[in-house]
Structure 1
Amino acid sequence: MTKKYQFSAVFLLFYFLGFAQEEAIDTVYIFDSQLKNSKKFHKIENLDEADLLKNSTNLSEVLRFQSPVYIKENGRGMVSSPSFRGTSAQQTAFIWNGININSIFLGQGDINNLNLLGYDQLEIKSGGGSVIYGSGAIGGTVHLNNELSFKKGFKTSFFAEGGSYNTFNSFLKSSYSNDHLSVKVSGNFVKSDNDYDVPEKNYTNLNGEYDNRNFNLGAAYKINSKNTISWQTQIYNGVQHYPIFSESMTKTKYISDTFRSLVNWNFRTEKVQNIFRLAYLEDEFQYFSNINKAKSSGGTAKIYLAKNDFNYIFNEKLAFNFIGEYQLNKGQGFQSGISNVERNAGSIAGLVRWNASQKVNFEAGIKKDFVEAIETPVLYSFSGKVNVNNWYSLIFNASKNFRFPSFNDLYWQPGGNLDLKSETSLQADLGNRFQYKNFKLNITPFYINIENMIRWLPNSGGIWSPSNINNVESYGLESQLDFVKDFGKNNAKFSLGYIYTNSKNVETNRFLSYVPQHKIFGNASYRYDFIEIFAQGMFNGLTFTSEDEKLSSALKSYFVMNAGLHIKILKHYQIGFKANNLFDQIYETTAYFPLPKRNYAANLLINF
């Protein structure tokens, strides 16, 4: 199907859904069923649509201001990568409705090519998760979730925002559901000239424009009380221009096309829940070293996936979970030395969950991956939770996780290395949860040891090549205080997080680059009746940009604050205004690429 017909289909679906009648609210269908179990043992940041719209520019902004993750971004809206607990982008897994979607070429995800407003909910989980989510789930996982509700009738939302640098952002979402059928469609479009100036750095973001569009279609049908069939499809197209430092430099750009489709069959009885999944994922990229000429490199990745998740509830205290998965990975490169490569991969995992009492819970898991031509370790996980009293809980997590080499690591020419080993990690954390009235406090010290980390470095012939040369040790503390209170027409929310990270190369005893030791983030909002005001703050400490620990090239610490307001008009309309970087801070998350100074946005949200 061509893009022209893909996106015009959105409006036809919206039109036909518009005649439905409203019904009472019933159940919500969630595609990532395993994440619910994880919430017992892990601090998971849950962000809904209202949270996402406070940082609607892109996913990087959401993670920067509303999570413990450090974001390295090559200028606003450009290439962006995360760091959980001192790990790298390759050690972060992006999970779309329960499916790992990291690139099989790069072994990671580009945050700003994951369209923010194409999802109903974003959840951020720190800590290892390879037993459930596979390769790359070492530092943490970012969950991009879509939901389908039953018995809610017809609902439509429209959002439009205009901002500095000729930025326009919009989405249209519509859903209909009755007792047995649920359908949701959404479309999103974003564009920006992105030509901001930072005079103090003598910097103009030349050739920084970007635009992207996204279409989602989800449907679920309840065959009977035991069987539900669901389907989720996403189509994405994005164009990123890469910033240049002078008009005399050659302009470049990157085009990304993504197609994802996932079918679930959910069978549930009192004792058994079985979810069978079939998925097809396709990613195509094209890089243009000169925007006026033909592409200079590119590639197409295809993943065919089958997965079965069987859960047996033995009794109210004991449950067994067995997960089997098979993938066929195909990659075809252009001007990369990669012609046509294939890889078969599979895994089997088993978990046992034991509710020893109302106060004590345990979960243990073991997994073995089988990846063609690559040796993989046996993985395991163990979690325990003790509710000591009504205001304090103690949680322990330990796991072995891994990442196997990507297609670029193995086959890129010149430089690919067929002798690479999988990265492995051992890690543990100890969560302390306190709750008193409307306050919640979470304090979690953590430790990670990574062996055989894959690094691309020049070899003796001057060619960049990957090898297993690094062992990394990372330890630190994640903490967060949350407060929520409703009183009358008033609602107040407050959260404050502090993260300390000490991440070093064991051989050199030097800090890893782009891992700040200190990060603080905070969000506060107050709503009275029809008006809401909110503020966000984020502090990053000194950040080295290379592993020689040169202070002269390090990124200096900075504090950035945003503020805004929302006003509801009548029943269905909301207007908003936001000032980003309120104090005009000059700052970088990547060397040589400053982010914008003070800028503004205004928006309109209609729900009916």
Structure 2
Amino acid sequence: MRVFLIIILFATANLALGQDQMQDSLLRLDEVAVYGSNAQLNLVGSRVIVPDENLVAFNKQASLTGFLNSQSSTYLKSYGNNMLSTISFRGTNASQTSVLWNNFSINNYTLGQTDFSTVPLSVTDEVTLIPGGGSSFGGSGAIGGTVALANPLSYRKNMTAEIQQSVGSFNTYRTLGSFEKSTEKLSYKINAYYNVSENDFLIPERNLRQEHAAYQSYGALTALGYKLTDDQKLEFSLWYNDNYREIQPTLSGGSNNSDQQDENLRTSIQYQLQSRFFQLHSGIGYFNDKLDYKDGLARSLYIVNRIEGFSKITTSLAKNHIVEAELRGNVISAQNPGYEQEQAFEERYSIMVQSRGELFQKINYAAHIKQQYISDSPESPLSPYLGLAYQLFQRSRHKLKLKVSSSVNYRIPTLNDRFWQNAGDPELKTERGFNNELGLELNSGISNLQNNFSVTTYRNLISDYIQWKPTNMGNSRPENVKTVEILGLELNNQTSFRVNELKLGLDLAYSFTNSTVLEAEREIEIGKHLVYVPSHKANVSLFTTYKVWRLSYLANYTGKVYTSQVNTEVYALPQFILHDVGFQYALPSGITCGFRIRNALNTNYQTYAGYAMPGRNYELTLNYNFKSNN
């Protein structure tokens, strides 16, 4: 019944707002983007990263894990090669990052996080990274940052087809295929993938083969859009993903017979209306996530069903000022043998109001506030955001911009935190994050040379930090035990140069993160660094294209990482640098041949203590691409 009411709510909103009668005071509104790139409009005072297309292409065969590791603001810890991979965004933990797909959350609601090894980069057309707090944009969990994935449809006459096959080390085979056809009224696309690997890599410096780490994954994403009129369109998306893997054992030895299968079904229907005076964007999605874990004869099956819907109206009440209001509902039903009643049910509703535009000449602003309501909870998290961007200087191709923002963000305790049998606590407080950010952007161009530089500093104060703690009964329980302060500095520089048929691109990035425990129950933890948060991280990306040849080089540096709450040096993971090199040759027939060397210097490293990662490995790729504008 509640689900039915949500559907009625959004359907009624469409009918009510779809009337032609509008007040004369409203001004004409230009069409804007509605997916991840919209973050640049809504978060004008914050750093928003739209990755370089060269970097996306270089990592296309990989999962999001490899791609995100090339960003200085993120640290991915993996429990082995292509095993569970979770993110640390600006020093926060995995459950403090929000992951969106076409405006819907796809985080696992039992754990509150996303396993990025199960998300292939090839399935998405746009990736937007939003470091820093943004709960008013990304919802619960966006204390550290947001990863927004999108598959926008084009309504221009076009047809493209692509198929890609690769063969790599450890008996690894990857197949990708895509097809897109569009007219002025109808648009359709499908992306499909299949990956399989024995994953029996040679462990560096041990001369041993990794055992019990094979994996297989396949899936497809399809999207269909139809323009009902010049001002209205209806779009449907479906993403199915199936991922099986043997659970890689630790280096300490011992047998491991466990395996895991993840199955995800994500669907959405979205309606957009662009009138002279307002925009309406409504959508509803159904999501089914299954995790089947087996360890010998023991088996655990976890199932989460969700229905999420939203309705958003955008209008202009004055010149250069946009006003937007959004209603959103989320109904969650989870089946978990570890819960007290073996199931959990929750409803979440939110209302968000925002305004953005030009405050004064050369000063743009964005201000929004989001109120979240949670069933059976006395807490109603409030998340305001205020951002300003001041154009300090602009002349020809030279621009200097100052950005500043402040926000309050939150993370609702996960279903596991609250409902786990003999451990969960329904009275846990919501985590709060108070984020302040200051940045400077300098864009300059001379002749064939373009350079973009940015520096960002930030402070994130997180209270009621949730941590699972051991008890005298031999188990663990979640508690609000910490207050954490995270201070950081990020430097980024992108340089591109072109002369005739020669193109050069150089990206440099560095981040410093100081995450310190200010308050904790154990005095010994106060003043210590958070676990699995490197203080230093740096990336270098070099791309060179000449006629039909292309050379790519990536270097990723990760500093020392503590693995114990008291920062015991003997258990810390040492710093390391990974070097990747890629070559590509394009034939006139649309065929491209590529060769890539990962971890070229055969570095021995770990991103999570006790789990081996592969040394030098290779991948050969053959790609065929067809395009037609007819």
TM-score (norm 1): 0.92
Contact 2:72–2:538 (CA under 8 A) maintained in structure 1: no
Q: 1:339 aligns with which of 320, 339, 342?
A: 342
Question: Is 2:158 aligned against 1:146?
Answer: no
**Judging changes above 3 Å, is the alpha-carbon distance between structure 1 residues 377 and 199 closer, same or farther for their aligned structure 2 residues?**
closer
Q: 2:601 aligns with which of 575, 580, 583?
A: 583
User: 1:247, 1:511 → 2: CA distance?
Assistant: 29
Q: 2:112 aligns with which of 107, 111, 116?
A: 107
Question: Is 2:506 aligned against 1:494?
Answer: yes
Matches within 5 A, 1:63-102: 63-102=68-107
Bigger shift: residues 201-210 or 74-83 = 201-210
Q: How far did residue 194 of structure 1 move?
A: 0.9
Matches within 5 A, 1:191-340: 191-201=196-206, 204-244=209-249, 245=251, 249-290=255-296, 293=297, 296-340=299-343
Q: Please list every run of 5 or more consecutive structure 1 residues that lacks an aligned counterpart in the other structure.
A: 1-26
Question: Is 2:22 aligned against 1:45?
Answer: no
Question: Is 2:430 aligned against 1:422?
Answer: yes
Matches within 5 A, 1:175-574: 175-201=180-206, 204-244=209-249, 245=251, 249-290=255-296, 293=297, 296-374=299-377, 375-390=379-394, 391-437=399-445, 438-507=450-519, 508-574=526-592
What does the per-residue CA deviation read over 1:321-345, in whole Å, with 9 as the maximum and x for residues that have no partner? 1011111110111355452221111
The code of the aligned residue for 1:365 comes to H
What does the per-residue CA deviation read over 1:507-558, in whole Å, with 9 as the maximum and x for residues that have no partner? 2110000001000011110101111101000111111111111111101111
Contact 1:455–1:466 (CA under 8 A) maintained in structure 2: yes
Which residue in 2 is equivalent to 1:22? none
Q: Please list every run of 5 or more consecutive structure 2 residues that lacks an aligned counterpart in the other structure.
A: 1-30, 520-525
What does the per-residue CA deviation read over 1:259-291, in whole Å, with 9 as the maximum and x for residues that have no partner? 01111110112321110011111101111112x
The code of the aligned residue for 1:481 comes to N
What does the per-residue CA deviation read over 1:179-207, in whole Å, with 9 as the maximum and x for residues that have no partner? 10000112111111111122424654211
The alignment partner of 1:223 has SS state of strand
The alignment partner of 1:52 has SS state of helix
User: 2:245, 2:48 → 1: CA distance?
Assistant: 31
Contact 1:68–1:84 (CA under 8 A) maintained in structure 2: yes
**Judging changes above 3 Å, is the alpha-carbon distance between structure 1 residues 74 and 555 closer, same or farther for their aligned structure 2 residues?**
same
User: 2:511, 2:299 → 1: CA distance?
Assistant: 41
User: 2:72, 2:468 → 1: CA distance?
Assistant: 29
Q: How far did residue 147 of structure 1 move?
A: 2.1
Q: How far did residue 65 of structure 1 move?
A: 1.8
Q: How far did residue 402 of structure 1 move?
A: 0.3
The code of the aligned residue for 1:457 comes to K
User: 1:224, 1:358 → 2: CA distance?
Assistant: 37
Q: How far did residue 414 of structure 1 move?
A: 2.8
The code of the aligned residue for 2:328 comes to E
Q: How far did residue 67 of structure 1 move?
A: 4.6
Q: How far did residue 93 of structure 1 move?
A: 0.7
Contact 2:40–2:48 (CA under 8 A) maintained in structure 1: no
Q: How far did residue 30 of structure 1 move?
A: 5.6
Q: How far did residue 170 of structure 1 move?
A: 1.4
Aligned residue pairs: how many?
Answer: 579
**Judging changes above 3 Å, is the alpha-carbon distance between structure 1 residues 523 and 129 closer, same or farther for their aligned structure 2 residues?**
same
Matches within 5 A, 1:593-604: 593-604=611-622
Question: Is 2:624 aligned against 1:606?
Answer: yes
User: 2:326, 2:137 → 1: CA distance?
Assistant: 8
User: 1:220, 1:40 → 2: CA distance?
Assistant: 30
Instruction: Tell me how large the CA RMSD over aligned residues is.
Output: 1.8
The alignment partner of 1:418 has SS state of coil
Q: How far did residue 49 of structure 1 move?
A: 6.4
TM-score (norm 2): 0.89
User: 2:40, 2:536 → 1: CA distance?
Assistant: 30
Contact 1:310–1:322 (CA under 8 A) maintained in structure 2: yes
Contact 1:478–1:498 (CA under 8 A) maintained in structure 2: yes
User: 1:541, 1:50 → 2: CA distance?
Assistant: 26
User: 2:361, 2:597 → 1: CA distance?
Assistant: 47
User: 1:444, 1:392 → 2: CA distance?
Assistant: 14
User: 2:390, 2:363 → 1: CA distance?
Assistant: 5
**Judging changes above 3 Å, is the alpha-carbon distance between structure 1 residues 247 and 365 closer, same or farther for their aligned structure 2 residues?**
closer
What does the per-residue CA deviation read over 1:102-130, in whole Å, with 9 as the maximum and x for residues that have no partner? 11100111111223221112221101111
What does the per-residue CA deviation read over 1:357-411, in whole Å, with 9 as the maximum and x for residues that have no partner? 4511011111110001221322100000000002310000110000101111111
Q: 2:123 aligns with which of 98, 111, 118?
A: 118
Contact 1:456–1:466 (CA under 8 A) maintained in structure 2: yes
User: 2:555, 2:36 → 1: CA distance?
Assistant: 31
**Judging changes above 3 Å, is the alpha-carbon distance between structure 1 residues 592 and 247 closer, same or farther for their aligned structure 2 residues?**
closer
User: 2:512, 2:40 → 1: CA distance?
Assistant: 27
**Judging changes above 3 Å, is the alpha-carbon distance between structure 1 residues 394 and 36 closer, same or farther for their aligned structure 2 residues?**
closer
Question: Is 2:79 aligned against 1:61?
Answer: no
Greater relative contact order (Cα < 8 A, sep 6+): 2
Contact 2:45–2:386 (CA under 8 A) maintained in structure 1: no
**Judging changes above 3 Å, is the alpha-carbon distance between structure 1 residues 160 and 49 closer, same or farther for their aligned structure 2 residues?**
farther
Q: How far did residue 315 of structure 1 move?
A: 3.5
What does the per-residue CA deviation read over 1:227-274, in whole Å, with 9 as the maximum and x for residues that have no partner? 111111100100121112588513111110100111111011232111
Contact 1:49–1:121 (CA under 8 A) maintained in structure 2: no
The alignment partner of 1:117 has SS state of helix
Q: How far did residue 53 of structure 1 move?
A: 3.8
The alignment partner of 1:356 has SS state of strand
Contact 2:217–2:244 (CA under 8 A) maintained in structure 1: yes
The code of the aligned residue for 1:160 comes to Q
User: 1:150, 1:377 → 2: CA distance?
Assistant: 39
Which residue in 2 is equivalent to 1:6? none
**Judging changes above 3 Å, is the alpha-carbon distance between structure 1 residues 357 and 566 closer, same or farther for their aligned structure 2 residues?**
farther
